[in-house]
Amino acid sequence: MPRFSIVVPSHGVAGRLSQALDSVLAQSFGDFELIPVCDAPDAPAADVVAGYAERDSRVTPVHSPPSAGLAGARNTGLKAAVGGHVLFLDGDDVLVPGALAALDARLSAVGDVDVLYFEHERTPWWEGEPTNPAAPLLARTPKGAFSPDRAPQLTGVALPAWSAVYRRAFLTERDLAFPGDHFTDVGFGGLVALRAERVAALRAVVVRHLLRRQGNRLGLPGEHHAELLDQTELVLTRAAEQDLPADRLKPLFEQLFAAVLKTAAHPRRLTSERRAFFRRASALYRQHRPAGYRAPGGSVGVQHRLLASGSYAAFRTLRAAHRTASRAAALLPRPRGLRTRLRYAAALRLPLDRNLVVYCAYWGRGYACNPAAIHAKARLLAPQLRSVFLVEPEAVGSVPPGVEHAVIGSRKYWQVLARAKYLVNNANFADAVVKRPGSVHLQTQHGTPLKTMGADQATYPVVAAATGSFAKLLARVDRWDYNLTSNRHSTEMWERAFPSAHETLEYGYPRNDVYCTASADDVARVRKALGVPDGKKALLYAPTHRDYATGFETGLDLAEFCEAIGDDYVVLLRAHYFYDQGSSRGGGRIIDVTGHRSSEDVCLAADALITDYSSIMFDYANLDRPIVAYADDWDVYRETRGVYFDLMELPPGRVARTPEELAAVFRDGSYADETATSLRAAFRERFCQFDDGRAAERVVRRVLLGEPPESIPPVIPLAERVPAPAATLVRS
């Protein structure tokens, strides 16, 4: 019985088969049989093999039909083998000189092992440096023979079949053969590792894998990629039947799904049924995910989470961004002017200023929103920190006295961005801003998502066209360290919309703290500042932006509406900030508050809210005051923009579809009746989870002061909160 049986499938490699056979026959160690597997007696490879068989009795060719594929060819060769150990070699690869002698010596040293893994070298077809992908896996293995439990990273699925030599009796006794056709190495390697009891490693290159110019056949487009999921399911099912220990199951699971994720993201491999592939992969992932499994960090972890949730659109967008990351980075905007670029580059080489915090809101529109609320709280809890607010030139006047600011684009702007330890924004910083190691980026967001956001916009053409490059968007998202949410719904939707490795902080929105801390005097002061007449009920009308519309259109004749509801009311008009042009649209009983710096003040002043699909409804709900949804174009909005839930099924109060219906609910008082109150209570239960008046404190303590999560003040239950009082309405 020869020491080795070397099985060499030769399908489609007649032109390179000779060098493979020569590399075996030239070995200094000669105790082997060489089994070329040809597809037919009259095939080109068969002619090549026939010449070797005539010259060397150790060459014993066998035949396997092309329909049996690579797996069938290897299984045919395995059945014909009589050697003590079996080695599989592809027909266009070679054994390095001295390979068999090294294997013989190692097997003699470690004794009777089921599998001996070894290193291999991948050699570029034209130019480039060879690589040794097996080396990291084998580097941490024990010196002698060992149980697979001692090297859980050796799952078998990350190494090709020709990167190991197998004890033939082990394979035959356990009825181990190559499964399926394509990706058969994954299934075979996984099954072998699951059944092996004693293994060993040889930390030396035995096989030189010669890369093809046209690439691996498995990388070509076609339906065969679905077989990767077959092999994945086969291995994980056997692992479950075997009750594989957790420390071995985790790396097996990760290595299998690393291959699955790579295939799912490749645009050229899955020519069709990409979504079906992803859905099946997602189902397998959830079915076989180890108990207590935590996804890895970074971008890979984000991909795992998207696969687990079945978020195909977000996954596709994310991977597209990563594939073009280097190209996008080269095209990113840079600070204008050579002098500015040089100064910014020089400042980036200076140490971080660990006491410097840079804030920005709405791309520099002023001192507002969550960044302003965090800034105000930081001045109380962390006075040692220097804070700089970034604003556009025309917004300088909105910055309160005593608040340091920098004009966007100025020399100071680039200096503080380069040096700041902490960067806080409710949108995103400019593409040219570099995320420095050690810096901390906090994304506060500026609303709860009803409409689709981020990567989820990719499937809505009108919105996607306005959004621009999703690769650039996700590159900006990758700078985030923390992302703030005000409810669990937001947590889930932001993870879909902005997939990245950041940590989610379920602390509430700092700008909404005032809804639990303001007094009746505060409400009266704001109403007076806005010009709300004493004794009048103020209705805040706040419509959102329409992606499919040009310019601001209210969709409602406010003058006619005021006439229809009577003299007891005034309307506070707050257009979307996209349409804040500084000019008043008010008059009579209509007070235009679009340009007012604080949306929180406007909400405090209002006795009730009328909105369509604006996220202001989620913030206003914290006040527990009546809300009416004016949904005159809901179907168009939902189809064009996309939404995360059906607002008509879960409204914050009464719903009106026409101006007449809207006027009627105020004339008859049904906007604040028991039904409206019940709807609002359910809405608050879902969307007012974390806004308890202490969000800013939690953020400052955790992010700016670095306090541990367990020391952060817990969220006050919704039933125990006391919202700021309304001016004219009594809350039930």
Average pLDDT over residues 556-568: 91
- Rounded to two decimals, the pTM is 0.57
For the ranges 23-32, 265-274, 315-324, 597-606, the lowest mean pLDDT is seen at: 315-324
**Helix 298-309 with 312-323: angle, nearest 10 deg:** 160
The 10s digit of each residue's pLDDT in 329-380 is 444 445 656 777 788 989 999 999 999 999 999 999 999 999 999 999 999 9
By C-alpha distance, which of 102, 94, 98, 123 is closest to 200?
102
The 10s digit of each residue's pLDDT in 685-715 is 999 999 999 999 999 999 999 999 999 999 9
Contacts of residue 223, defined as CB under 8 A and 6 or more positions apart, other chains included, come to 271, 272, 273
Of 94-108, 206-220, 252-266, the range with the highest mean pLDDT is 94-108
- Count CB neighbours of 401 within 10 A: 4
Confidence check: pLDDT of 585 > 70: no
Question: In which order are the strands placed within the sheet that holds 503-505?
Answer: 405-407, 386-391, 353-360, 420-425, 440-443, 482-484, 503-505
Contact indicator for 681, 648 with CB cutoff of 8 Å: no
Percent share of the chain, pLDDT over 90: 62
For the ranges 12-21, 156-165, 423-432, the lowest mean pLDDT is seen at: 12-21
The CA angle 555-560-564, to the nearest 5 degrees, is: 120
Cα-only R_g, the chain: 33
The 10s digit of each residue's pLDDT in 492-515 is 888 778 877 789 999 999 999 999
The two tokens of residue 631 are: 């949904």
- Count CB neighbours of 564 within 10 A: 15
- Count CB neighbours of 648 within 10 A: 13
Confidence check: pLDDT of 194 > 90: yes
Q: What is the dihedral of CA 356, 360, 364, 369, to 10 degrees?
A: -140
> Is the sign of the CA dihedral 406, 412, 417, 422 positive or negative?
negative
For the ranges 82-96, 239-253, 565-579, the lowest mean pLDDT is seen at: 565-579
Average pLDDT over residues 200-209: 94
Question: In which order are the strands placed within the sheet that holds 608-611?
Answer: 590-592, 569-573, 537-542, 608-611, 627-630, 654-656
pLDDT value for 554: 59
End-to-end, the C-alpha distance of the chain in Å comes to 92
DSSP-assigned letters across all residues of 551-609: S---SS-HHHHHHHH-TTEEEEE---GGG--S----BTTEEE-TT-S-HHHHHHH-SEE
pLDDT value for 627: 97
**Helix 312-323 with 274-288: angle, nearest 10 deg:** 110
pLDDT value for 297: 75
d(CA 424, CA 443): 6
The 10s digit of each residue's pLDDT in 613-635 is 999 999 999 999 999 999 988 98
Contact indicator for 361, 684 with CB cutoff of 8 Å: no
pLDDT value for 73: 93
pLDDT value for 531: 92
How do the residues of the chain divide into helix, strand and coil, expressed in percent and rounded to 5?
45, 15, 40
- Count CB neighbours of 153 within 10 A: 17
Q: Distance from CA of residue 394 to its chain's centroid?
A: 36
The CA angle 331-335-340, to the nearest 5 degrees, is: 140
By C-alpha distance, which of 156, 180, 164 is closest to 71?
180
Distances (CA, A) of 700 to 296, 375, 406, 600: 28, 9, 22, 20
The 10s digit of each residue's pLDDT in 449-498 is 999 888 777 776 666 566 667 778 888 888 999 999 999 889 888 877 88
Distances (CA, A) of 590 to 78, 494, 584, 586: 86, 36, 10, 5
Confidence of residue 155 (pLDDT cuts 50, 70, 90): very high
Contact indicator for 427, 358 with CB cutoff of 8 Å: no
